[in-house]
């Protein structure tokens, strides 16, 4: 099962300063600086319109309502209405601009993230749950969009509004303004303390959400095993623990949100009370007009609206900060296998393979130990050995899914570390045991999007490996839709499709890990014919499971614990009665008896 504690440990280890995170994030807004400038330029206009409204009320109270004068009242009402309507229209346009900016930034980050994930080495995917990666590309990136639209830009607008209101209040009455602002230091300290707790909680929420995604992904992928072995109840219990931890984390976040909002609300109420007390006394003494007192209450209500919104904005920003830590941590992960700084390109590859004193370790003891062998161009070589002998590792080293710990691997005399990864992998065609079928059409699965492989190339490849027999019977032939993981194809059809894929790409080196799946005899005959076609004019390395394949090869390499123990043809190795002879008795003799029968 997924090691969820590993996810949590990795996430908690990610600690980057907020300023660095924000500075790095803002780089993604630079390509859209036009939208960013437009959104920022609208903020002063919105704030100015918000400031004008209480002042119009003040003028109406002092010049019209208190002295009971009707002249000019209609004009003030018109100005007030125009200010409100214009503010609403500009806010609506500003919302559209900011949302567009947020989506464009998200588009860029998600694109970069996906492209980077494709470049990561196989070792990364073998130790990282898929659910964790999905969570970063989807939920985490979406949090950044929300921060742009509802967080940073909006927060800057709030700051402009607060500064503007404070300036107007000071101009209207300095002493009353100072009385109003006396509550701000307490408000600032309390907000910072609450924010510190919110940061920790929102990081925990992201961790728990990644754990849920990883758990669901793994269980959906293994649903057949779960149902077959009646593991549903146990999985329910495990999911309950993970979901419960996420639930508790969100409750703590909600508590901080509610506490911050209530704290600001109470502070605002105290500020209004102070204004009523001090301002009311001054108004009765004649030191202040009633309109100024009304305007102050209006301004105070307006200044506390953005302060109250800090609860929601801090929630958004804290969630985005936690998401940024995870996203940038992934982007900063360097692939173990890198393209050479100055890759050497070969005009044409014939397919000669050499392993020279190769050793390799996954980090827990050597899997390959001082291994040396050569496969000439066009030669067919089978690798045999017990589980753990190093057969699959040799294939991974040949295609540079991993790099050797010691020694080197050569193709046509060139160290593959100096070759372009693209040229190397283009010329190493693999038919793995766990072949993968994508959702899409038959054509898409064979061509894999390569522009130089057209429909005619696909048809020829399918005919050569006998895959055309079942493809031609499908409703839309090569444009028939295949569902996710090829669930609407049989195991044999998937195998034939994987053979056609390799044939269409026409590599000089063929790596075949023969599948041991249970398929019908007729399909197996087609597959064997397809494999024999693939062997033609190619250097072939086969991890052999079938006796018929072993008998057909030019040479057999017998591996044991990462070392070559025997080498030769089938009959020669049987006569030696060594390791191959024992493997033959254990694995292949029954096949020979069955074929003879």
pLDDT tens column, 450-499: 888 888 888 888 888 878 888 888 888 888 888 877 777 777 788 888 88
4-331 maps to which CATH number? 1.20.1560.10
The sign of the dihedral angle between the CA atoms of 30, 32, 33, 39 is negative
Under 8 Å CB-to-CB from 570, ≥6 apart: which residues? 550, 551, 556
Q: Which residues pair with 542 in a beta bridge?
A: 382, 512
Q: Residue 138: in which H helix or E strand, if any? A: none
C-alpha 127/C-alpha 133 separation (Å) is: 11
pLDDT value of position 13: 39
Q: Compute the chain's Rg from CA coordinates.
A: 35
pLDDT value of position 9: 41
Under 8 Å CB-to-CB from 553, ≥6 apart: which residues? 380, 381, 382, 540, 542, 544, 569
Cβ contact 313:307 at 8 Å: no
pLDDT value of position 139: 77
Question: 110: which 2 tokens?
Answer: 């998600």
Under 8 Å CB-to-CB from 237, ≥6 apart: which residues? none
C-alpha 7/C-alpha 207 separation (Å) is: 7
Q: What is the pTM for the complete model shown? A: 0.69
Would you kindly state where each structural domain of the chain is located, as residue ranges?
4-331, 347-427+509-517+542-597
pLDDT value of position 32: 87
Is 347-427+509-517+542-597 the same fold as 4-331?
no
Closest to 587 measured CA to CA, from 535, 516, 519, 527: 516
pLDDT value of position 11: 44
Mean pLDDT by 10 residues, the chain (597 residues): 44 51 83 86 86 82 77 85 90 87 86 86 78 78 77 74 82 81 76 72 78 78 71 83 87 80 77 77 73 79 72 71 83 84 83 90 84 89 83 87 89 88 85 78 84 86 83 86 78 82 86 63 68 80 74 85 87 84 70 49
Cβ contact 208:131 at 8 Å: no
Q: Which residues pair with 482 in a beta bridge?
A: 440
Question: 595: which 2 tokens?
Answer: 């074929």
Question: 6: which 2 tokens?
Answer: 């590993």
Helical segments of 465-588, H only: 468-471, 491-505, 521-535, 547-552, 570-576, 579-583
pLDDT value of position 151: 65
The sign of the dihedral angle between the CA atoms of 132, 137, 139, 144 is positive
Would you call 285 helix, strand, or coil by DSSP? helix
Say which CATH architecture domain 347-427+509-517+542-597 belongs to. 3-Layer(aba) Sandwich (3.40)
Kindly report, residue by residue over 256-291, the tens digit of the pLDDT. 777 777 777 787 777 778 777 877 777 777 777 777
Helix, strand, coil content of the chain in percent (nearest 5): 65, 10, 20
């Amino acid at each position: 099962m997924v090691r969820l504690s590993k996810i949590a440990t990795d996430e908690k280890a990610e600690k980057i300063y907020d300023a660095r995170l924000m500075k790095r994030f803002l780089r993604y807004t630079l390509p859209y600086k036009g939208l960013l400038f437009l959104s920022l330029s609208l903020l002063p206009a919105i704030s100015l319109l918000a400031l004008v409204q209480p002042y119009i009320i003040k003028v109406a109270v002092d010049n019209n309502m208190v002295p009971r004068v009707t002249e000019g009242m209609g004009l003030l009402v018109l100005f007030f209405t125009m200010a409100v309507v214009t503010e609403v229209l500009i806010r609506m346009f500003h919302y559209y601009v900011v949302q567009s900016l947020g989506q464009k930034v998200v588009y860029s980050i998600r694109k970069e993230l996906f492209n980077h994930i494709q470049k990561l080495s196989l070792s990364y995917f073998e130790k990282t749950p898929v659910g964790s990666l999905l969570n970063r590309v989807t939920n985490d990136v979406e949090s950044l969009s929300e921060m742009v639209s509802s967080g940073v830009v909006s927060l800057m607008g709030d700051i402009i509004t607060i500064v503007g209101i404070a300036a107007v209040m000071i101009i209207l009455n300095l002493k009353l303004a100072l009385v109003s602002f006396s509550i701000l230091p307490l408000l600032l300290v309390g907000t910072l303390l609450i924010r510190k707790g919110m940061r920790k909680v929102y990081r925990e929420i992201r961790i728990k959400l990644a754990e849920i995604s990883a758990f669901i992904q793994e269980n959906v992928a293994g649903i057949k095993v779960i149902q077959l072995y009646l593991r549903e109840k146990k999985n329910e219990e495990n999911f309950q623990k993970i979901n419960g931890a996420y639930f508790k984390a969100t409750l703590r976040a909600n508590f901080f949100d509610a506490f911050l909002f209530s704290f600001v609300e109470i502070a605002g109420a105290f500020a209004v009370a102070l204004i009523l007390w001090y301002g009311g006394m001054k108004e009765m003494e004649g030191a202040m007009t009633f309109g100024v007192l009304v305007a102050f209450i209006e301004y105070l209500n307006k200044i506390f609206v953005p302060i109250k919104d800090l609860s929601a904005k801090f929630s958004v920003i804290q969630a985005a900060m936690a998401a940024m830590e995870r996203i940038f941590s992934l982007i900063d992960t360097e692939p173990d296998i890198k393209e050479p700084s100055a890759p050497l390109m070969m005009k044409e590859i014939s397919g000669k393979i050499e392993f020279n004193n190769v050793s390799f370790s996954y980090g827990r003891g050597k899997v390959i130990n001082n291994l040396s062998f050569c496969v000439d161009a066009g030669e067919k070589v089978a690798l045999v050995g017990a589980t753990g002998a190093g057969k699959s590792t040799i294939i991974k080293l040949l295609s540079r899914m991993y790099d050797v710990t010691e020694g080197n691997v050569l193709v046509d005399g060139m160290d593959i570390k100096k070759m372009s990864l693209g040229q190397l992998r283009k010329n190493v065609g693999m038919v793995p045991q766990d072949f993968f079928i994508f959702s899409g059409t038959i054509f898409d699965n064979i061509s894999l999007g390569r522009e130089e492989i057209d429909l005619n190339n696909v048809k020829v490849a399918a005919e050569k490996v006998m895959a055309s027999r079942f493809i031609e019977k499908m409703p839309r032939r090569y444009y028939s839709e295949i569902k996710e993981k090829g669930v609407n194809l049989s195991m044999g059809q998937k195998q034939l499709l994987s053979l056609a894929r390799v044939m269409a790409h026409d590599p000089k080196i063929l790596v075949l890990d023969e599948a041991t799946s249970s398929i019908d005899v007729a399909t197996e005959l087609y597959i064997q014919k397809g494999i024999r076609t693939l062997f033609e004019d190619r250097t072939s390395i086969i991890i052999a499971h079938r006796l018929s394949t072993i008998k057909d090869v030019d040479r057999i390499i017998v591996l044991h614990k990462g070392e070559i123990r025997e080498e030769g043809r089938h009959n020669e190795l049987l006569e030696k009665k060594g390791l191959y002879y024992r493997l033959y008795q254990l694995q292949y003799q029954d096949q020979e008896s069955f074929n003879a029968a």
